[in-house]
Structure 1
Amino acid sequence: MPIATVNPTTGETLTTFDALSPEDLDRSIALAADAFDTYRTSAFPERARLLRQAADLLDADAPDIARLMTTEMGKPIAAARAEAAKCARTMRWYAEHAERLLSDEHPADADVKDSGAVRALVRYRPLGVVLAVMPWNFPLWQVVRFAAPALMAGNVGLLKHASNVPQTALYLEDLFRRAGFAEGCFQTLLIGSGAVEGVLRDPRVAAATLTGSEPAGRAVASVAGDEVKKTVLELGGSDPYVVLPSADVERAARTAVTARVQNNGQSCIAAKRFIVHTAVFDAFTDAFVAGMRALRVGDPLDEDTDVGPLSTEQGRSDLEALVDDAVECGATVLCGGQRPDGLGERGWFYAPTVLAEITPEMRVHREETFGPVATLYRVADLDEAISVANDTPFGLSSNLWTREDDEIERFVRDSGAGGVFVNGMTASHPALPFGGAKRSGYGRELSDHGIKEFCNVTTVWIGA
């Protein structure tokens, strides 16, 4: 895949970039390793000062970087501005809390006295150069939720961003440089996916984090495993959205529309499978389908647009194949199911779609729908709802709508996902851990769990 900005609204190639030469790539890795030797000894207040400066610059740049993200990958402009603001807030959160999160831990003297220690503690030390392989769908946020905690922990970063958002990737390197981080603390590598293995095998690189597809995760994990290097993976999701009889059905349906089409439906944590109790199925379906039909599809730079184009032409083709397979196997199309009139040939648009009568032999039952396509399931009770919710190879997050405490406790106990959101849609927040189970990956981002992922958890034992 070429390293290029291709406007998904028009299909026009706006600019292309040459990949780094092997010599330039080696220099970048060397620069990162040298930067770590110094940066790792910096104090938390200094790191926090730099990160706050980056947040201030990002706030000032928000209108321009939002427009750039929209041009490169098609997200609605209002969502792009919100993404930039969220990144700045997260930088400030880690600037404020990182020193506390990584403070030394002191076991009780009584617990370690039989070890012979006069004093014992646990200290969190940075690992070194961390390679971040990031996707295009949240081109700022995916990077910042790695970079903010990693930099505050004393690590340095190498970013291999998706090839269709090169200008956003270069902006991030420039942002941290302008904020005052030393040269080499955060670099963007304009390289193709074929060069990732060589970077990860380089002895100067200590670890890697990847957000992306399951095949990409397998590839990085395999190389890292062979090199015995730490990885964190956040992969796909096919999140269930369960609605039970006691729920506020109108609010659940209204929220469901947003949960499905956020970021044009291209979000790992977007609700995708809507599992509704038969007692409220018809009411929910009527409201949900009406909401999906009412969405405005069009130019993502238009403030009134709800759903923009898919990020790539291949992404739309893949989505169409899933819908076509479902229809051929007997699914009912309640709305959408095609390219919107007047838009589908000019850009990579696809109409908000709801499919019902889903059966296990359909690909859409097992595979992730990365676009504005929802699947509906009718269930008889909570047992069946949990069974359908867990009948997926993924386990990123899940949603439950009910007012019954016992149903909440049961769902939390039995859900196979890394997150359970009750009476609201899944979202990420810097204070809460983010990550999944099963084929959605392993490890956690954000919160204290995320900042500790790329730390050497060091036992310090001091004898007499």
Structure 2
Amino acid sequence: MNDIVCISPVDGSEVARRPVASTNQIDAVLAGARKAQVEWAAVPLAERKSVMLAFLEAMRAQNDEIVPELAMQMGRPVRYGGELRSFEERVRGLVALSDEALAPIVPASSAGLRRMIKRVPAGIVLVVAPWNYPYLTAVNAIVPALLAGNAVILKHASQTLLAGERFQAAMDKSGLPKGLFTALALDHASTERLISSRSVDHVSFTGSVAGGRNIERAAAGTFIGVGLELGGKDPAYVRPDASLDFAIEQIVDGAFFNSGQCCCGIERVYVHETVYDRFVEGFAELTSAYRLGNPLQQDTTLGPMAAIRFADLVRAHTSEAVAAGGRPLIDPARFPETREGTAYLMPQVLVDVDHTMRVMTEESFGPVVGIMKVASDAAAIELMNDSPYGLTASIWTEDAEAAETIGNGLATGTVFMNRCDYVDPGLAWTGVKDTGRGASMSRLGFEALTRPKSFHLRVEH
């Protein structure tokens, strides 16, 4: 039997090893989930909400262990305290939203008739979660799925294998019925078999474009629901009226937090020519202040990437751009911890770049960002849309009307003004083009995890 192994990017050590779940184990989990789901769907929403808040408290109780564990699994510095602050915001936000999102839709009254559309659970929801934000990305689907009356099977990424077990421990302490939530160690083949056999009723996947295509192929002909959040190459546009110091601080953080391994992190920046030189100077200065090193040390602000192969892709994008005329602004001497053949990679800022370079068009998912000068809003819109992806775009300006007008012209799932790299639980998290399809968060996220059921009751005849 194959094992799933997590190798730490910090020192190359083995963090965890788990056997892939056997066919018999998977079948037993599915049988238990089907039984538990029927019973859970009959539980009043108020009780389901209470259980989800108990789950939140059980997860918070683990945070002191989760933070260094997460650093060892995927490299995020412990100084940032893990994901539980935003995690709590999302859980509480989704719990608060659930009454409205799951309430029946009642059409205009008609004499002698009672009519309504109820949202009923999909059944078993398979959540396939990524390693970059292993708690935040998974909770986007897990909590609304359970609130809506579904059972959940969690397949977590091998790089953050222990995150799935943390979810399981918190669910077990929350009072959730046995069998309703199970974290399973699955490989790609067993995951695809689970989907293609129609053993589950909905799949929520966050990951690469290639991974999303594999999920769609596995689901072909089953007619089960599929939600896909895939790649991104999220842009920022800095207008002449932007608060420049604020924009620099926020965009640098949006580009390099988590070593650039953020679904909606900033990977390319377009700056109006009137403020370009000042922006670039400030951006490079602030980037140079990062401290690359062991993520278990409190003074480290930039940890290693999650795996050597991810760092190598960023190195390739960067070196190709430089060979084609791109100019790097960050001095490697400032980051002696950067070493070829390891996951430790310094942040880099490139200028004199264009859209013939992969660093401006393909997802790098690491600590490199390219900056281009533009002459107008129209030029920025054209470049921002010149991408196979469309998750988020941020506009930095003091003119909200202009931001909305620009946003109307952007092919993206979310438009930000004066912020980036954030998920609002009250808004739909969605994308266009190769970023995928479907939505999580907001009431639309609940709709994806349920199906409509119409009632037409003739009470007078």
Query: Above 0.5 in TM-score?
Result: yes
State the Cα deviation string for residues 424-448 of structure 1 (Å, max 9, x = none).
2230122222111111111111111
Q: Distance in 2 between matches of 1:342 and 1:244?
A: 35
Q: How does 1:320-399 map to 2 (within 5 A)?
A: 320-335=315-330, 340-344=335-339, 347-399=342-394
The structural deviation recorded for 1:361 is 2.1
The structural deviation recorded for 1:14 is 2.8
Other-structure match for 2:121: 126
Other-structure match for 1:449: 444
Other-structure match for 1:79: 80
The structural deviation recorded for 1:163 is 0.9
Q: 2:350·2:368 contact (CA, 8 Å) conserved in 1?
A: yes
Q: Distance in 1 between matches of 2:399 and 2:141?
A: 36
AA aligned to 2:204 is T
- Residue aligned with 1:23, SS: helix
Other-structure match for 2:398: 403
State the Cα deviation string for residues 118-138 of structure 1 (Å, max 9, x = none).
121111110100111110000
Indicate yes or no: 2:153 matched with 1:158. Answer: yes
Q: Distance in 2 between matches of 1:76 and 1:234?
A: 25
The structural deviation recorded for 1:56 is 1.1
Other-structure match for 2:99: 99
The structural deviation recorded for 1:335 is 1.4
- Structure 1: runs of 5+ lacking an equivalent: none
- Residue aligned with 2:201, SS: strand
Other-structure match for 1:296: 291
Q: 1:207·1:454 contact (CA, 8 Å) conserved in 2?
A: yes
Indicate yes or no: 2:422 matched with 1:421. Answer: no
Other-structure match for 1:174: 169
Other-structure match for 2:242: 247
Percentage of matched positions with identical amino acids: 28
The structural deviation recorded for 1:338 is 9.5
Aligned length: 458
State the Cα deviation string for residues 85-117 of structure 1 (Å, max 9, x = none).
2223322333333123211111112xxx4xx86
- Residue aligned with 2:141, SS: helix
Other-structure match for 2:132: 137
AA aligned to 2:229 is E
- Residue aligned with 1:164, SS: helix
Q: 1:241·1:400 contact (CA, 8 Å) conserved in 2?
A: yes
Other-structure match for 1:207: 202
Other-structure match for 1:70: 71
After TM superposition, the structure 1 stretch with the greater mean CA deviation from structure 2, 69-78 or 116-125, is 116-125
Q: 2:311·2:345 contact (CA, 8 Å) conserved in 1?
A: yes
- Residue aligned with 2:329, SS: strand
- Residue aligned with 2:54, SS: helix
After TM superposition, the structure 1 stretch with the greater mean CA deviation from structure 2, 400-409 or 442-451, is 400-409
AA aligned to 1:410 is T
Q: 1:122·1:458 contact (CA, 8 Å) conserved in 2?
A: yes
State the Cα deviation string for residues 193-230 of structure 1 (Å, max 9, x = none).
12111111233311101000000011112222321111
Q: 1:117·1:461 contact (CA, 8 Å) conserved in 2?
A: no
AA aligned to 2:93 is W
- Residue aligned with 1:335, SS: coil
Q: Distance in 2 between matches of 1:345 and 1:404?
A: 44
Q: 1:316 to 1:54 in 2, by over 3 A?
A: same
AA aligned to 2:53 is R
Other-structure match for 1:42: 43
- Residue aligned with 1:300, SS: coil
Other-structure match for 2:230: 235
Q: 2:284·2:349 contact (CA, 8 Å) conserved in 1?
A: yes
Q: 1:70·1:300 contact (CA, 8 Å) conserved in 2?
A: yes
CA RMSD of aligned residues (A): 1.8
Q: Distance in 1 between matches of 2:91 and 2:74?
A: 23
Q: Distance in 2 between matches of 1:55 and 1:263?
A: 23
State the Cα deviation string for residues 174-203 of structure 1 (Å, max 9, x = none).
211111111211111101112111111233
Q: 1:340·1:349 contact (CA, 8 Å) conserved in 2?
A: no
After TM superposition, the structure 1 stretch with the greater mean CA deviation from structure 2, 405-414 or 210-219, is 405-414
After TM superposition, the structure 1 stretch with the greater mean CA deviation from structure 2, 292-301 or 90-99, is 90-99
The structural deviation recorded for 1:337 is 6.9
AA aligned to 2:120 is R
Q: 1:338 to 1:35 in 2, by over 3 A?
A: farther
Other-structure match for 2:58: 57
State the Cα deviation string for residues 244-289 of structure 1 (Å, max 9, x = none).
1011111111111101012111011001110001110000000001
- Residue aligned with 1:395, SS: coil
- Residue aligned with 1:183, SS: coil
The structural deviation recorded for 1:67 is 1.7
Indicate yes or no: 2:183 matched with 1:188. Answer: yes
- Structure 2: runs of 5+ lacking an equivalent: none
Other-structure match for 1:19: 20
Q: Distance in 1 between matches of 2:10 and 2:417?
A: 35
Q: 1:46 to 1:405 in 2, by over 3 A?
A: closer
AA aligned to 1:91 is V
Q: Distance in 2 between matches of 1:342 and 1:94?
A: 41
Q: 1:6·1:13 contact (CA, 8 Å) conserved in 2?
A: yes
After TM superposition, the structure 1 stretch with the greater mean CA deviation from structure 2, 254-263 or 31-40, is 31-40
The structural deviation recorded for 1:142 is 0.9
Q: 1:154 to 1:269 in 2, by over 3 A?
A: same
The structural deviation recorded for 1:4 is 1.9
Indicate yes or no: 2:312 matched with 1:317. Answer: yes
Q: 1:260·1:271 contact (CA, 8 Å) conserved in 2?
A: yes
Q: Distance in 1 between matches of 2:402 and 2:97?
A: 35
The structural deviation recorded for 1:37 is 1.8
**What is the TM-score when the length of structure 1 is the normalising length?**
0.95
Q: Distance in 1 between matches of 2:331 and 2:116?
A: 59
- Residue aligned with 1:209, SS: strand
- Residue aligned with 1:426, SS: coil
Q: 1:198 to 1:99 in 2, by over 3 A?
A: same
The structural deviation recorded for 1:71 is 1.3
Q: Distance in 1 between matches of 2:239 and 2:254?
A: 17
AA aligned to 1:425 is C
